[in-house]
Structure 1
């Protein structure tokens, strides 16, 4: 929103979990959106994730570096077209490290390189249930970037999917980082506010780019 009466401020939601509004400027958002569009194409492109119980996630996903599926990582799109996963670009790793520095401080930047990205696309009806990012073998902070429609991001606790939690409004360009004591916290997206993407963005829906250190051995 332009010229807000009360500009949104950086906020620590929980120890090690920080929301930084408007972290990406308009140019950076356009560049990241262009990259997401390229990654979404086949092979190993955007797909619907199916859960072991036979259900499907309403947010569609494409992966970089390693392919995530419930509940592990692979080198190929094992639950998609079987093609090799797209590479994780070095510039995306540099962006993740800058994000951690800005949100948590340089001391929180992991020694290991960021090597995995999950890109989730939400239309107006998509949701994400409460879950933990627990398939990695490293405890490096998770970096989350938002593009397009605003969402309600629910950030919970490390013990249970239920309360206590805090609902945070994430808009296009916002950064959310969680590490340290909050690294294994449950979180989800109960609602997307359709039609709230910035004017001229060319995006109908929400993109969430989540950057992680897998902690898995190299090739």
Structure 2
């Protein structure tokens, strides 16, 4: 926030897990938001994800490249309208590669080919989970737009402590790879109404980029 006394600084939350505040400037945030709105439209648009036990995730989701559903990938929205998943654009892959380098330093030329885009309203949450359905160990890139959230980053063994709570704001980057690639993480809280006034978004968008290895 502009009236803060001290600027937020990048931080290594765990080995291989790095938070970079304000990585996307206001213009880049608006451009990415516009793309997310296009991707969210049918077919294969924004949907409610249902778990095998019959529950429903409170954050709604749209996928690019590969369609994720608990706990697998498909080329069609098998738990939605059945339409082919939207293509993963080359520019988004380049953004993912630049983000990984910005957070972790020089990286192999990873071919990012999956985007999971989650929309959170003020009541949405995400339980502790691992991103373990991919066949590659490339770092996961997470970009935040809109409302501020509490991002809980844990360990690779259990959903419980130890974990670290990180405040993610609009424009922030979080990357986790290496020894933290399979760490449990989640979103226990979203602060409604905290999005930048000029962005034009009510709620939070999280754009997560992954390498499928498929």
TM-score, with normalisation over the residues of structure 2? 0.99
- The separation in 1 between residues aligned to 2:151 and 2:189, in whole angstroms, is 8
- The separation in 2 between residues aligned to 1:99 and 1:3, in whole angstroms, is 27
Alignment correspondent of 1:200: 198
- The separation in 2 between residues aligned to 1:190 and 1:173, in whole angstroms, is 19
Cα RMSD, aligned residues only = 0.6
Alignment correspondent of 2:94: 94
Q: Where does structure 2 lack aligned partners over 5 or more consecutive residues?
A: none
Alignment correspondent of 1:11: 11
Query: CA offsets per residue over residues 161-181 of structure 1, 9 Å max, x none?
Result: 000000000000000000000
Work out whether residues 97 and 109 of structure 2, in 8 Å CA contact, stay in contact via their aligned partners in 1. no
Alignment correspondent of 1:51: 51
Structure 1 residue 129 and structure 2 residue 127: aligned? yes
Alignment correspondent of 1:64: 64
Q: Hey, which bits of structure 1, 4+ residues long, moved more than 2 A?
A: 109-112
- Which residue of 179, 182, 191 maps to 1:181? 179
What is the deviation of 1:136? Answer: 0.2
- Could you say what secondary structure the match of 1:85 adopts? coil
- Could you say what secondary structure the match of 2:91 adopts? helix
- Could you say what secondary structure the match of 2:30 adopts? helix
> For residues 180 and 195 of structure 1, do their structure 2 counterparts lie closer, same or farther at Cα, with a shift above 3 Å needed?
same
The number of residue pairs the alignment matches comes to: 214
Work out whether residues 97 and 110 of structure 2, in 8 Å CA contact, stay in contact via their aligned partners in 1. no
What is the deviation of 1:152? Answer: 0.1
- The separation in 1 between residues aligned to 2:32 and 2:139, in whole angstroms, is 20
Q: Where does structure 1 lack aligned partners over 5 or more consecutive residues?
A: none
What is the deviation of 1:3? Answer: 4.1
- The separation in 2 between residues aligned to 1:111 and 1:99, in whole angstroms, is 12
Query: CA offsets per residue over residues 11-62 of structure 1, 9 Å max, x none?
Result: 0000000000000000000000000000000000000000000000000000
- Could you say what secondary structure the match of 2:103 adopts? helix
> For residues 52 and 110 of structure 1, do their structure 2 counterparts lie closer, same or farther at Cα, with a shift above 3 Å needed?
farther
What is the deviation of 1:2? Answer: 1.3
What is the deviation of 1:110? Answer: 3.6
TM-score, with normalisation over the residues of structure 1? 0.97
Alignment correspondent of 1:37: 37
Alignment correspondent of 1:209: 207
Structure 1 residue 149 and structure 2 residue 147: aligned? yes
- The separation in 2 between residues aligned to 1:134 and 1:4, in whole angstroms, is 37
Name whichever of 111-120 and 58-67 sits farther off.
111-120
